[in-house]
Copies of this chain bind each other. A is one copy, B any other.
Amino acid sequence: MTAPPAARYRLAAVPHDRVTIAGGFWGPRQEANRATTIPTIHRRLREAGHLDALRLAWRPGDPNPPHVFWESDLAKWIEAASYSLATAPDPALDATLDGVIDLLAGAQRPDGYLNAHFTVVEPEGRWTNLRDKHELYCAGHLIEAAVAHHAATGKGALLDIARRYADYIAQVFGPGPGQRRGYCGHQELELALVRLHGATGEDRYLRLARFFLDERGRQPHYFDLEARARGEDPRDFAHGTYEYNQSHRPVREQDTAVGHAVRLMYQLCAMADLAHETGDAALLAACERLYPSVVERRMYVTGGLGSSAHNEGFTADYDLPNETAYAETCAAIGLFLWQSRMLRFAGDGRYADVMERSLYNGILSGLALDGAHFSYKNPLAVPRDADKAGERYPTLRQPWFACACCPPNIARLLASLGGYAYGEGADTNDLYVHLYIQGSARLRAGDQTVTLRQETAYPWEGRVELTVEPERPATFALYLRIPGWCRGARLAVNGEERPLAVEHGYARVERAWAAGDRLTLDLPLPVERVRAHPAVAADRGRVALRRGPVVYCLEEADNPLPETAEAGGMRLDALALPRDAELTATFEPDLLDGVVTLAGQALRRDGGNGAPQAFKAVPFYAWGNRARGEMQVWLREAP
């Protein structure tokens, strides 16, 4: 299968193990991910029973039956741990992984099937409810884990398990006689199969991925047929509409972001990957058609997706309530993953802008600073009594969840983050810097390796020092991303300022490079007032503060208000920000592991007298790490 250029990635991905993250903003976070988050998740999985479940010893009447999606939680942890191993050797973790993989090997059935729930709890139920039961979704995560583990360790045990499972799935599912023409209610396997093709070179995995994508939404509807086969009325589907899992129409015909946000993001990743692998321009066109629906009309300023808990997903254009935002951590991660693919097609920085928006806000807010507490939902306003508010308000950060998809998802992203920071021209010697992250990368330009080093305190400071170290002098173009929010960026090469020509969000610097060449990029980071599209009723008369990619919020911890404040629903609404208020940015090394805070004078609206009151804003991602209290991103603006 070779693709015409139109639907091919212009930029190759750079494997994360060619990228080192050290110091700066992300070094300590990646280290905490390795030292705290990954071990914590392993412990939680063990405590919850995910590992024991694989011994297949559960019997009816026993407590804690294996849940149908446990393998996916475990697989994402394996994937995270593998990525981490690839850049930070850790013999103990390596051995732990081997032990978990032994358990998986023991749980795999002779035919290749692997799902503890459907082996010991409902053995008669295998493949009978693809709509709800996540079997193929779990298979997808196992495959992703296997590809990651194989790449990290060179060991084949898990990849063998995954291939056997995938080959079995390829027998069961397909258009042939006696095969099931089904697909999973939760997209994931589709993108995993493309990755398995990449790891094995086997085209049949691509064909199976395309089969699953193209069956989706066909009539007669598979989920109708299988519901009737179970003796159920398809109309009793708990989520009411097949928009929920984006099977309401064929994926190539979809043009609006509907349903469960994570599912749509994973679907779009698979569509992009498959468009690249097969040159299928219609799949790419559908991705491009969905972009404005997702990014321009149904995304929060934080990169969060999902306006309602009812479907963990999308509602209507510009319906972006703040307190009741769902904005699942996994959805922001899915958006990041999808946009990284769109970036590789187009080489256009607007996609990297969305990646940064989700990364520094809606994703990172899912993890407490201690690396051991997580949030599933990431609302943009939280009332003071949210800690005892049960279902009325989104859950705050917790040690664990019954549905534990988000913690290992953020762990695998942090462990592999380096893989999203750079790009290499697929058919050129162009090198791209997408994300400013201190560390280094070994990139391919022509027949040699070019080492790029970044020194930067980004996102707190806008200066990025880059050192270019080709093995031998060579001419190639370096593309440095100039974020969409940035005005007045400046660039110097070896200390000499260069005029900056920005195209599609990148400054292009082509020259004969020699080892030790230095680039100095200065990205001004003024505090910006962001206003929502006027159709977003929840944000009318409000303003959000952003500095660089970081969105800010007010917390009660920094902004105490007396009980008498006429605060409206949110007591923080007692403060209104004048349009001309001077806003200062200060790095506070001892606050919240070191953050730039914003400060200024707001007006207190108590009784309408508008007395000035100093306020302080902290990064949204860092909210909720101190005393409980209100939090708010969209602040009232004084008229």
Complex contact B321–A316 (CB within 8 A): no
Nearest CB on B from A327, distance (A): 15
- Select which of B310, B535, B568 is within 8 A of A388 by beta carbon: B568
Binds B, one of A137-145, A338-346, A389-397, A510-518: A389-397
- Select which of B237, B316, B573 is within 8 A of A308 by beta carbon: B316
Task: Give the CA-CA distance A392 to B324 in the complex, in Å.
Answer: 11
Q: Taking the complex as formed, is A533 at the interface, i.e. its CB lies under 8 A from any CB of chain B?
A: yes
Q: Taking the complex as formed, is A238 at the interface, i.e. its CB lies under 8 A from any CB of chain B?
A: yes
Task: Give the CA-CA distance A239 to B317 in the complex, in Å.
Answer: 9
Binds B, one of A58-66, A240-248, A453-461: A240-248
Query: Which of A241, A314, A392 has the most B CB atoms < 10 Å from its CB?
Result: A392
Complex contact B323–A316 (CB within 8 A): no
Nearest CB on B from A245, distance (A): 12
Point out the residues of chain B lying under 8 angstroms from A307, CB to CB: 315
Q: Taking the complex as formed, is A297 at the interface, i.e. its CB lies under 8 A from any CB of chain B?
A: yes
Known: A237-B535, A390-B568, A393-B569. A316 touches B314 (CB 8 A): yes
Known: A241-B297, A388-B566, A533-B240. A316 touches B324 (CB 8 A): no
Nearest CB on B from A532, distance (A): 10
Complex contact A240–B534 (CB within 8 A): yes
Complex contact A392–B568 (CB within 8 A): yes
Point out the residues of chain B lying under 8 angstroms from A317, CB to CB: 240-241, 243
Point out the residues of chain B lying under 8 angstroms from A567, CB to CB: 388, 390
Nearest CB on B from A385, distance (A): 8
Those of A504-539 within 8 Å (CB) of chain B: 533-538
Interface code A480-499, partner B: CB below 8 Å = 1, 0 otherwise? 00000000000000000000
Q: Taking the complex as formed, is A309 at the interface, i.e. its CB lies under 8 A from any CB of chain B?
A: yes
Complex contact A535–B319 (CB within 8 A): no
Those of A425-484 within 8 Å (CB) of chain B: none
Complex contact A315–B319 (CB within 8 A): yes
Complex contact A569–B535 (CB within 8 A): no
Q: Taking the complex as formed, is A223 at the interface, i.e. its CB lies under 8 A from any CB of chain B?
A: no
- Select which of B311, B318, B391 is within 8 A of A318 by beta carbon: B311
Q: Taking the complex as formed, is A335 at the interface, i.e. its CB lies under 8 A from any CB of chain B?
A: no
Nearest CB on B from A477, distance (A): 34
A308 to chain B: closest residue by CB: B319
Point out the residues of chain B lying under 8 angstroms from A536, CB to CB: 240, 310
Nearest CB on B from A307, distance (A): 7
A317 to chain B: closest residue by CB: B241
Task: Give the CA-CA distance A566 to B323 in the complex, in Å.
Answer: 21
Complex contact A391–B568 (CB within 8 A): yes
Those of A252-269 within 8 Å (CB) of chain B: 258
16 A-B pairs with C-beta separation under 8 A: A238-B534, A240-B318, A243-B317, A307-B315, A309-B538, A310-B316, A310-B321, A311-B318, A311-B535, A315-B316, A315-B319, A323-B392, A388-B568, A389-B568, A392-B569, A392-B570
